[in-house]
């Protein structure tokens, strides 16, 4: 029932305000669309658990409690319209007469001073809504009886009762004993960063309050300086000008001077531009904000990273270090939200949707942080193993198919779909080899041949005497092939000339 949407909203308020609140689970009759064989709409109604996000501004916990386990009571503030208030009659244990009386009295919602800032509305206006307070906690048994609560006989020995009460216009709309077994207050408050001395945690905005003030100050100074330095400051000597002139400046402006007055009448002064220095300080404050929040700028797309972050291995190392603070946040979500929520879901199923197949001594354990760290460390170790197995002397000892499957699982991939088994891998290798896609065995590198008597060591540079004409390796022009008769005569003539030169 839109649980993922409410979880995202809770996580958003965790980061923004420091604490996210989730409420539930409650029994909810969900309608599943269905059409019968004749085409008539016949929906299927099924009772399912439902959770919902509660805004931090509408929750009033026990002021003396440090967490939900210590809370004696919790009050939630609702803002309902006429139709929403009347629809409460459809829910169990709501008193119809009290709801009708509240509707007759009219709306009573009063806007709080902080609501205009949250909604970013400048103009205030009247809200046609009802303010309803929902109370979960302990009350005296005598007060519960005065309010008309029927107390079961097995609870007669108790002095206090844990109840759920809805109030509007001092009318009790609903008053029932806490329906959950075991008894619990159905709210889960998860801090972004734990503050052990307060119910509310510390969020990102609070962590970077000081550095944000510095960033705002330096940016404002840079903008103000850019405005001043982008124009000239003029100094005018009016004694040298004709009186009564307009001093407004515009292109083509003409100032009339008095005759014979020496010197310059109009002086322009350039304001120094120091906005670059202010922006450098802004960047320094931004780096301090990264340290304060534990979320560096390169983790959300900053470009121009220098040093270690220029390589893939370096940025991977930096991202791993940046996840240390995120792991703490995930651990808080596990401890204060997911684990108690899982226990509540298990108790809900046992109480309202009992299934003997899941009955047993079960312990709910949230493993978000463990799975995050386990997959990260495991994938790194598998990659290191593959690098070591690249050594030809060790490759025969490694089961590569098993390593590939484990690596795929560590990366949250389906190993059965993307990795072939041994038979399929052998068949694919044969197909590639038959197509000539695989290179044959490497040729033996040139080296010393013990049967080589030339002394060259297998090289192409000889170590013996110089080649003479007619031997292989002589650099002179090769002998010419026999020529026709005319060519032989010319060759004989050239030979005689060469003999004469000798």
pLDDT tens, residue by residue, 133-155: 999 999 998 899 888 888 888 88
Q: Is 469 among the domain residues? A: no
Q: Is 396 among the domain residues? A: yes
pLDDT tens digits along 228-256: 898 888 888 888 888 888 888 888 888 88
Whether 465 has a pLDDT exceeding 70, the answer reads no
pLDDT tens digits along 328-350: 888 899 899 999 999 998 888 88
Which residue has tokens 């806490």? 178
Report how far apart, in Å, the C-alpha atoms of 139 and of each of 24, 73, 177 are.
21, 9, 10
Q: Output the six-digit token pair for 112.
A: 């709080």
Report how far apart, in Å, the C-alpha atoms of 350 and of each of 297, 353, 362, 488 are.
47, 6, 12, 116
Half-sphere exposure of 264 (CA within 13 A, CB side): 5
Q: Is 426 among the domain residues? A: yes
Q: Is 271 among the domain residues? A: yes
Q: Is 465 among the domain residues? A: no
Half-sphere exposure of 234 (CA within 13 A, CB side): 11
Task: Yes or no: say if 91 and 69 are a contact pair by the CB < 8 Å rule.
Answer: no
Residue 313, burial from CB neighbour count under 10 angstroms (0-12, 13-18, 19+): exposed
pLDDT number for residue 502: 45
Its sign, for the CA torsion 177, 179, 181, 183, is: negative
Torsion of CA 461, 465, 467, 473, to 10 degrees: -10
Rounded Cα gap, residues 425 and 441, in angstroms: 20
Q: Please check whether residues 358 and 378 belong to one and the same domain.
A: yes
Instruction: Provide the residue range defining the domain that includes 347.
Output: 330-434
Mean pLDDT, range 88-117, rounded to an integer: 89
The residue from 150, 180, 203 where one domain ends is: 203
Q: What percent of the chain has pLDDT over 90?
A: 33
User: 157-160 long-range CB contacts below 8 Å, 24 or more apart?
Assistant: none
Q: What percent of the chain has pLDDT over 70?
A: 78
Report how far apart, in Å, the C-alpha atoms of 266 and of each of 244, 260, 271, 272, 275 are.
16, 16, 16, 19, 27
pLDDT tens digits along 280-306: 999 999 989 988 888 877 666 665 555
Q: Output the six-digit token pair for 144.
A: 């519960």
Q: Please check whether residues 165 and 259 belong to one and the same domain.
A: no
pLDDT tens digits along 393-403: 888 888 888 88
Q: Please check whether residues 50 and 100 belong to one and the same domain.
A: yes
Rounded Cα gap, residues 138 and 194, in angstroms: 27
The structural domain count of the chain equals 3
Q: Please check whether residues 8 and 107 belong to one and the same domain.
A: yes
Q: Please check whether residues 179 and 197 belong to one and the same domain.
A: yes
Q: Which residues contact 65 (CB under 8 A, 6 or more apart)?
A: 71, 72, 199
Q: Which residues contact 192 (CB under 8 A, 6 or more apart)?
A: 14, 15, 18, 19, 20, 201, 202, 203, 204, 329, 332
Q: Please check whether residues 35 and 164 belong to one and the same domain.
A: yes
pLDDT number for residue 417: 80
Rounded Cα gap, residues 465 and 474, in angstroms: 11
Torsion of CA 486, 488, 494, 495, to 10 degrees: -160
Task: Yes or no: say if 294 and 322 are a contact pair by the CB < 8 Å rule.
Answer: yes
Q: Please check whether residues 403 and 423 belong to one and the same domain.
A: yes
Q: Please check whether residues 17 and 62 belong to one and the same domain.
A: yes
The residue from 157, 188, 203 where one domain ends is: 203
For residue 318, how many other CB atoms are within 10 A of its CB?
17
Which residue has tokens 């939900």? 68
Q: Is 278 among the domain residues? A: yes
Please name which of 404, 403, 429 lies closest in space to residue 417, comparing C-alpha atoms.
404
Instruction: Find the helix or strand (DSSP H, E) in which 243 lies.
Output: none
The residue from 301, 317, 349 where one domain ends is: 301
Q: Please check whether residues 37 and 115 belong to one and the same domain.
A: yes
Q: Please check whether residues 166 and 137 belong to one and the same domain.
A: yes
Task: Yes or no: say if 194 and 335 are a contact pair by the CB < 8 Å rule.
Answer: no
Whether 497 has a pLDDT exceeding 50, the answer reads no
The reply to whether the predicted model has a pTM over 0.75 is no
8-state DSSP, 147: T
Q: Please check whether residues 76 and 185 belong to one and the same domain.
A: yes
pLDDT number for residue 124: 61
Instruction: Find the helix or strand (DSSP H, E) in which 242 lies.
Output: none
Q: Is 427 among the domain residues? A: yes
pLDDT tens digits along 168-227: 999 999 999 999 888 899 999 999 999 999 999 999 999 999 999 999 999 999 999 999
Per-position DSSP letters for 48-59, written without gaps between them = EEEEEEE-GGGE
Q: Please check whether residues 290 and 396 belong to one and the same domain.
A: no
Q: Is 483 among the domain residues? A: no
Task: Yes or no: say if 32 and 1 are a contact pair by the CB < 8 Å rule.
Answer: no
Please name which of 382, 343, 387 lies closest in space to residue 366, comparing C-alpha atoms.
343
Q: How far apart are the first and last CA of the chain?
A: 111
For residue 281, how many other CB atoms are within 10 A of its CB?
16
Q: Which residues pair with 232 in a beta bridge?
A: 270
């Amino acid at each position: 029932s839109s649980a993922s949407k409410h979880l995202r909203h809770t996580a958003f308020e965790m980061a923004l305000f420091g604490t996210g609140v989730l409420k539930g689970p409650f029994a909810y009759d969900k309608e599943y669309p269905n059409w019968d064989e004749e085409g008539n709409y016949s929906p299927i109604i099924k009772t399912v658990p439902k959770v919902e996000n509660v805004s931090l501004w509408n929750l009033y916990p026990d002021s003396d409690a440090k967490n939900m386990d210590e809370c004696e009571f919790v009050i939630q503030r609702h803002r309902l319209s006429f139709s929403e208030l009347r629809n409460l009659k459809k829910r169990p244990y709501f008193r119809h007469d009290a709801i009708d009386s509240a509707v007759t009295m009219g709306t009573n919602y009063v806007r709080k001073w902080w609501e205009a800032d949250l909604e970013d509305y400048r103009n205030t206006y009247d809200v046609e809504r009802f303010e309803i307070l929902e109370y979960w906690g302990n009350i005296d048994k005598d007060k519960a009886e005065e309010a008309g609560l029927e107390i079961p006989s097995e609870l007669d020995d108790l002095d206090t009762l844990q109840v759920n009460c809805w109030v509007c216009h001092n009318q009790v709309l609903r008053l029932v004993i806490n329906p959950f077994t075991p008894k619990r207050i159905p709210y889960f408050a998860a801090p972004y960063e734990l503050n052990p001395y307060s119910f509310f945690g510390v969020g990102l905005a609070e962590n970077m309050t000081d550095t944000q003030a510095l960033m705002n100050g330096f940016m404002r100074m840079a903008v103000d300086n850019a405005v001043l330095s982008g124009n000239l400051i003029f100094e005018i000597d009016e004694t040298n000008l004709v009186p009564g002139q307009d001093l407004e400046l515009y292109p083509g402006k003409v100032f009339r001077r008095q005759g014979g007055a020496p010197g310059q009448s109009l002086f322009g002064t350039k304001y120094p531009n120091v906005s670059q220095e202010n922006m450098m300080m802004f960047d320094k404050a931004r780096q301090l904000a990264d340290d304060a929040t534990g979320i560096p700028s390169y983790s959300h797309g900053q470009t121009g990273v220098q040093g270690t972050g220029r390589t893939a291995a370096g940025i991977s190392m930096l991202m791993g270090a940046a996840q240390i603070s995120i792991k703490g946040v995930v651990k808080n979500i596990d401890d204060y939200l997911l684990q108690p929520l899982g226990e509540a879901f298990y108790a809900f199923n046992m109480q309202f949707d009992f299934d003997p197949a899941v009955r047993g001594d079960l312990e709910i354990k949230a493993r978000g942080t463990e799975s995050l760290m386990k997959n990260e460390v495991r994938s790194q170790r598998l990659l290191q193993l593959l690098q070591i197995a690249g050594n030809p002397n060790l490759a025969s000892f490694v089961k590569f198919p098993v390593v590939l499957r484990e690596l795929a699982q560590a990366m949250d991939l389906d190993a059965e779909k993307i990795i072939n088994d041994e038979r399929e891998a052998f068949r694919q290798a044969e197909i590639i080899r038959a197509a000539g896609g695989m290179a044959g065995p490497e040729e033996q590198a040139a080296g010393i041949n013990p049967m080589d008597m030339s002394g060259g060591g297998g090289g192409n540079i000889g170590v013996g005497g110089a080649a003479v004409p007619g031997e292989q390796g002589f650099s002179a022009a090769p002998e010419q092939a026999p020529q026709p008769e005319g060519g032989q005569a010319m060759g004989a003539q050239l030979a005689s000339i060469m003999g004469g030169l000798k």
